[in-house]
Structures are given as structure tokens and as C-alpha cells.
Amino acid sequence: MIEGLYQALTLSTLLWLTVGVMIGMVVGTLPGLTATMGTALLVPFTFALPTGEGIAMLGGLYVCAMFSDAIPACLVNTPGTPAAMATAFDGHPMTLQGRGQEAIVASCFSSALGTVFGAGCYLLLAWPLMAIALKFGPPEFCWLGVFALTIIGSLAGDSILKGLGGAAIGLLISCVGISHGNELSRFTFDIPPLQGGVSLVAGLIGIFAIPQVLTMVSELRRKEFIAEYKPKSGETLKTIKKVMEHPWHVLRSSAIGSFIGILPGAGSPIAALVSYNEAIRWAKDKSQFGKGDLRGVTASEIANNAAAPAAMIPLVTLGVPGSSPAAVIAGALMLRGLNPGPELFQNDGALVYSFGWSLLFAGIVTFILGSLFAPLLVRIIRIPLRLLAPLIMLLATIGAYAIRNNIFDVYIMLGLGVFVFLVKRLGFHPGPIGLGLILGPIIEPSLIQALYISDALGVGKVFFTGTINISLIVLTIVSVGLVAWSRRKDAIQERESTSAKS
Amino acid sequence: MQRLLDRDLVTGLVLLCVYALFVADSSSDPKDWIFPILANYVILIIGIVLFARGAFALIVKRLPDILQLSQEERAAHTDVLVFFLIVLAYMFIMYGLGFWLSSWLMLSITSIYLTLDKTPRNIRLAMVVPLGTCIACYYAFLYFFYVPFPRATWWIGFMPD
């Protein structure tokens, strides 16, 4: 481990790591460009570098993209990658309140904390954590997805029914294309490009960015900018202090992110959503969530960044990548003749540990660069809406197109965007629709696999036995119960205050 | 007539339309459809509940939540409609003029349309900012991210992309 630290601390490694972080900043900020795409594009450039420096650069990009996706999420309510969806729930309201810089700095600092925690798990706890993660099979993943769905209670706004309806719409959209079981065409309406399904990134851009652009256009006659912004000195230190006022919240979000990151296939988006949900569940004052609560931003950002280094744990311990960018990094290692897995740990332990340290340093470099650029980045909201709305439209088009080089994804993005813009008037919130779209591809394949297993073992034995299954079911029931109880309490309070006024 | 614009009633109808759109086909293996069927039943139940709630409000002649547009909102919605039509036209001309030229046109036209105070300076700005953006994006996406955007078909041999 110490040898790995020495390798990671060499000037050239730190330099290439910083280059990776800077590229990650661009990749994450642009909606549609994901960390996977960024790392894949960077792989050929890393061949000119020694292995340690090359993968440090890729790791730097991955870690920073998980922070910088929060920038458009906070400023223009458009998540840069799916992992920042939960960040937008409170980050954008903060910007509207003139707290854009605070939101960016909080995202940046939280990302650094999450990364350091996740990298710490990678360096110290890789094997024990992996043993727990290996107990997760299809039914456990299915229940994890169902548990993550309980976040609807927090996102639904005034009507829980519309929240549930929105999530069901999102889940249905995720079903478009070829089925997971017998590869049947579902809901393709005889349109061949729909066989490929709805691209998650294009769908999320449609759900979040397009309604936002149309809302900007509709508000143009009332206001010139998204929000007011006055640069404040000492904002970074104040925000760090505010984040650190909740040490248990930081620890919980980091632990959730690290653990979910280890589970192959779950990834940063689900880590952020579960962490956000738990932040609300454990908070004493829940009233400000969704309206600009700093804890909402930090819960999401800590978890999605902790998940990034943690996703490397199954890669280095078992040779199974925990996320798509981890798979690209695995490919980069294999192209150099190195096989990720226990063999690599035994033969080239210094490289494995050097990568872990590089991920940790990437978190620190991300924080330094992010907090330096935050006052500059937040100036985006001072671009007049008449120029900003078309610019976001162009970036959304590029993002939706670039992910699969398919113009049909742009049409889907536009169609979904208009649909969400219209149903927002009916009281639907885009959050649950996006949640359904993210969780559908996690819940459905696990459900089908679990059902195939249950053909042999029985539904009861597959779904309702085992410590993890029971724990997740209990957590889901508790979460639903708490939502129902807090909503009832709010309704009673509102009724009492109305009658007191009258 | 205005009563029919009750928010619950309209929401219920929208959800019932979504349900009808996503009705499952048949398959020899029910596992192919179990997940969408479950999600669609949720939509059906919520649709019926909201529709019934709206219809009840209609019957008891209570107007709890009507969808209405003020004069100011009408102007705003006209802006949205015009903006959307320009974007639709952009999707169409993209294959003729190529991605970047049509993007610049879309950006400029929408920016000029959305500029309420059409001074020469603002109009110049509405053309120059999109031009700079398109040039920056052109180099970034074509030479760094290698994204093959739609090429011009009406200007083959004349326009770069």
C-alpha cells in the first residue's frame, strides 16, 4: 500500500491525474456526455503513458465527472449525467434562491468527501465489502430497486398519486424495446428505431432539460435571468462548515454510496437516490427537502462520488466491473496485458494500490479545482434567458444525439420533454418520471431473473427469505409507512392552521 | 364547459390514455410482460381514482382546481409554441443544411425571437453568441469527442458538415 502511495505521489502521475480531472469537468458539465463516454474516449490517449499514470488519468476523469454533473443540475436543473438527478431536486431551488455558489461548492466538497471515503474503502476494506456484495443476487437487486422507489414519497410534491403515476410512466418508458426474457419487441408501435429502447441519457435530458428550457421561454416576459447572483467572499469556508455540521449525514451518505457502488449494475444514480431518500428519512426537519435544503445536495453528491471508487472494488478483487466506466478502465488494463482480478492484486499489488490512492487524490484535486472555478461557473445563471434557453436546447440536442449517434434519440428527447412540460401543469413532478426511467432497467431484469430462479425454488423462497431480502423489505415498509405518517401529519397541521386563520 | 377542465379530471384522462397506449401484447411466457403490466395497472388505478374524483367534483358542482390561462400566460405559451416550432423546423432542416449551419440558424432565430427589446446591439448579440457557440462546439465534438453529426445533403461538397 505504501509503495502504491509513492507511485501515486510522483509528479507525473499527479499531473496526468489533474489533466483527467479537467477533462472530467468538461465531460460531466455537458448533458449527454457521460463518464463512460469520457473514459472510453480517453483510453487511446493513455497508451502513450505508463500504466499507473494512464489509469490515474482515467480515474481522475471518472471521479470529476461525478462532481461536475452537479453543475448543470444545480444551475439549470439539467443533470449532467443520470447520477446527478437527485442533486437537482435541491440544488436548483438553491440557485433560484440566489445560493448557486453555495450549491456548487457544497457539491464539490461533498464529492471530495464521498470520493475520499469510497477510495478509503477501496484501499482498506475491499475484500470484506466484496464478501457482502457477493450475497446480492437478482431478488436482492429487485428489492433494492423497490426500496429506491420509495423516494417517490419525497419527490411527489403535493399529490402522492401523481408521484406514483409519474414513476409508473417512467417504468413503462424503460420497458420500450426488446424484453429481457424472451427478447420480444415491446411497445415499439412498428417503429424500428424503438427496438433499441429509450436511451436513458436522452430520456433524462428530455425529462429534465427540455421542460426547463420551455419554462425559461415561458418566463421570459417576467424575468431576464434564471436567478440573481451576487458573488460572496468566504463562501467556500462557510459552505464547508455547513456541510460538516451534519457528520452523521456525511458518514451515512458515504457508507450508502460506497456499498451500492460495489454492487455491479447498481451504480452511482441508484446510490444517489437511495442516499437522498435516507437523508430525508433520518432528518428531523424534512420540510425544506426539495425546496433548497443543502443536505439534499450533499446526500446525493457524497453518495454518487463514493460509488465511483467503490465500483472499482469488484474490478480489482474479482475482475467484475462495478459500473460502466469501471468496465472501460478494465478494458484499458486488459489492452495492456493486465487481467483485473485477484491475479492482478497478487502480481502487481502496487499498481492496484496506486490506483486507489490516485482516486483519493482525484477527489482532492476535484475539490481544489471545483471550488476555484465555482464563482466563475455560477455566472452561467447571469446569461440572459433569451440566449441561455436556445443554448441549452442545442446542448441537449448534442447530448441526446452523441450518446448513440442516433437522431431518433433526439426525437424521443423532444417528445418526452414536451410531454413532461405539459403534465407539469397537471401537477406531475419530473423527478418520479426520471426515477422510473432509471430504476426500470435495474428492477425489471432482476425481477425476471428472480422469477426464473423461483420456477425451480418457489416465489416465497426466492423473494422472501434471506437476511438481505428481509432487511430490504422491512426498510421499504418502514419507508412507505413514514411517508404516509409524515404526509398525514402535514395535512393535519395544514388543516389546523387553516381553521385557526379562519 | 369550463368544469371539464378540472385538473383531476384531465389528469385522470391523460393517465387512461397512457394506459391505453401501453396495453400489453400476448406472449407464451408471461415474464416478458409482468413488469410493464404491473406498472400499467398502477397507471390505470390512479387514472380511475383521479377521474372519479374529478367527476365527483363536477357532479357536486364544486370547482376545486380549474386549469386556466391568464392573458400573460397566453403570451408566454405563444412564445413556447413558436420556440417549439422553430426547434421542429431545425430537426427537419438538419439533414439538408448539415448539423452546424442549421444549429446556428436555430440559435440565432430563437434568440432574436426571444429578444423582447430588439435593439441593433441585442440582435447582433443574438447572432454572434450562437456563432461562437457553434464554432466552439464544432471543434470540441468533432475533433475531441468524434461525434459524427448529420452532414449536409443540400450542400454536398460545399459545406464542411
pTM: 0.82
Handedness of CA A121, A122, A123, A124 (dihedral sign): positive
DSSP, collapsed to helix, strand or coil, labels residue A177 as: strand
Q: Report which of residues B125 and A47 the model is more confident about.
A: B125
A-chain CB neighbours of B50 within 8 Å are 161-162
Residue of B nearest to A211 (CA): B80
What is the C-alpha to C-alpha distance for residues A279 and A286, in angstroms, rounded to an integer? 9
Contact between A12 and A359 (Cβ < 8 Å): no
* Number of domains composing chain B: 2
Contact A220 B148 (CB under 8 A): no
- Residue A254 pLDDT level (bands cut at 50, 70, 90): very high
Contact between A394 and A181 (Cβ < 8 Å): no
- Residue B113 pLDDT level (bands cut at 50, 70, 90): very high
- Residue A209 pLDDT level (bands cut at 50, 70, 90): confident
B-chain CB neighbours of A194 within 8 Å are none
Q: Any CB–CB contact under 8 A between B149 and chain A?
A: yes
Of B10, B30, B59, which residue sits at a domain end?
A: B59
Position B64 in a domain:
no
Q: At what angle do helices A267-282 and A294-310 cross, to 10 degrees?
A: 140
Residue located via cell numbers 456563432: B131
- Residue A479 pLDDT level (bands cut at 50, 70, 90): confident
- Tell me, yes or no, whether B77 and B24 share the same domain: no
Phi (first) and psi of residue A185, to 5 degrees: -80, 130
Which 37-76 residues of chain A touch chain B by CB within 8 A?
Answer: 37, 41
Q: Any CB–CB contact under 8 A between B47 and chain A?
A: yes
How does the average pLDDT of chain A come out, rounded?
A: 84
- Tell me, yes or no, whether B46 and B7 share the same domain: yes
Contact B35 A444 (CB under 8 A): yes
Position B108 in a domain:
yes
The type of residue at A316 is V
Spatial CA neighbour of A295 closest among A131, A115, A103 = A103
Instruction: Find the mean pLDDT for residues B116-121.
Output: 88
pLDDT of residue B137: 87
Position B152 in a domain:
no
- Residue A365 pLDDT level (bands cut at 50, 70, 90): very high
pLDDT of residue B68: 66
- At A102-114, the pLDDT tens digits run 899 999 999 999 9
Which 17-46 residues of chain B touch chain A by CB within 8 A?
Answer: 18, 21-22, 24-25, 27-29, 31-36, 39-40, 42-43, 46
Domain of residue B128: give its range: 71-144
- Tell me, yes or no, whether B12 and B76 share the same domain: no
Q: Report which of residues B37 and A183 the model is more confident about.
A: B37
Position B155 in a domain:
no
- Tell me, yes or no, whether B116 and B75 share the same domain: yes
Contact A426 B107 (CB under 8 A): no
Enumerate the H helices of B1-119 as residue ranges.
7-21, 34-59, 71-97, 99-114
Spatial CA neighbour of B49 closest among B88, B2, B95, B16 = B16
Position B40 in a domain:
yes
pLDDT at A267 over 60: yes
Give the range among A102-116, A294-308, A453-467 with minimum mean pLDDT: A453-467
Residue A193 CB-density burial (10 A; 0-12 exposed, 13-18 middle, 19+ buried): middle
Residue located via cell numbers 389546523: A496
Contact between A406 and B148 (Cβ < 8 Å): no
pLDDT at A398 over 80: yes
Residue of A nearest to B99 (CA): A398
A-chain CB neighbours of B130 within 8 Å are 387, 390-391
Closest Cβ–Cβ partner in B21, B43, B144 for A165: B43
Determine which of A172, A182, A435, A462 to mutate to test the interface with B (most B C-beta atoms within 10 Å). Answer: A172
pLDDT at A423 over 80: yes
- Tell me, yes or no, whether B43 and B85 share the same domain: no
Compute CA A236 distance to the chain's CA centroid, rounded to the nearest angstrom.
23
Q: Nearest CA to CA, how far is B148 from chain A (Å)?
A: 7
Q: Report which of residues A32 and B125 the model is more confident about.
A: B125
pLDDT at A472 over 80: yes
pLDDT of residue A310: 87
- Residue A488 pLDDT level (bands cut at 50, 70, 90): confident
Position B149 in a domain:
no
Handedness of CA B54, B57, B61, B62 (dihedral sign): negative
pLDDT of residue B3: 59
B-chain CB neighbours of A220 within 8 Å are 76, 79, 114, 116
Position B46 in a domain:
yes
Q: Report which of residues A323 and A108 the model is more confident about.
A: A108
Percent residues over pLDDT 90 in chain A: 15
Q: Nearest CA to CA, how far is B56 from chain A (Å)?
A: 17
pLDDT at A61 over 80: yes
- Tell me, yes or no, whether B75 and B110 share the same domain: yes
pLDDT of residue A128: 75
- At B133-161, the pLDDT tens digits run 999 888 888 887 788 888 888 766 555 54
Position B54 in a domain:
yes
Domain spans in chain A, listed from the N-terminal domain onward: 2-501
- At B46-102, the pLDDT tens digits run 999 999 988 887 777 665 566 666 777 788 889 999 999 999 999 989 888 888 999
Residue by residue, DSSP assigns A404-437 as: TT-HHHHHHHHHHHHHHHHHHTTT--HHHHHHHH
- Tell me, yes or no, whether B75 and B55 share the same domain: no
pLDDT at A360 over 80: yes
Contact between A466 and A137 (Cβ < 8 Å): no
Three cell numbers at B141?
465534438
Contact A390 B114 (CB under 8 A): yes
- Tell me, yes or no, whether B50 and B75 share the same domain: no
Instruction: Find the mean pLDDT for residues A283-306.
Output: 87
pLDDT of residue A414: 94
Instruction: Find the mean pLDDT for residues A27-44.
Output: 75
Q: Nearest CA to CA, how far is A122 from chain B (Å)?
A: 30
Q: Nearest CA to CA, how far is A490 from chain B (Å)?
A: 20
- Residues in Cβ contact with A443 at an 8 Å cutoff, skipping those fewer than 6 apart: A141, A142, A145, A146, A149, A171, B35
Ramachandran class of A98: left when φ > 0, alpha when ψ lies in -120 to 50, beta otherwise = left
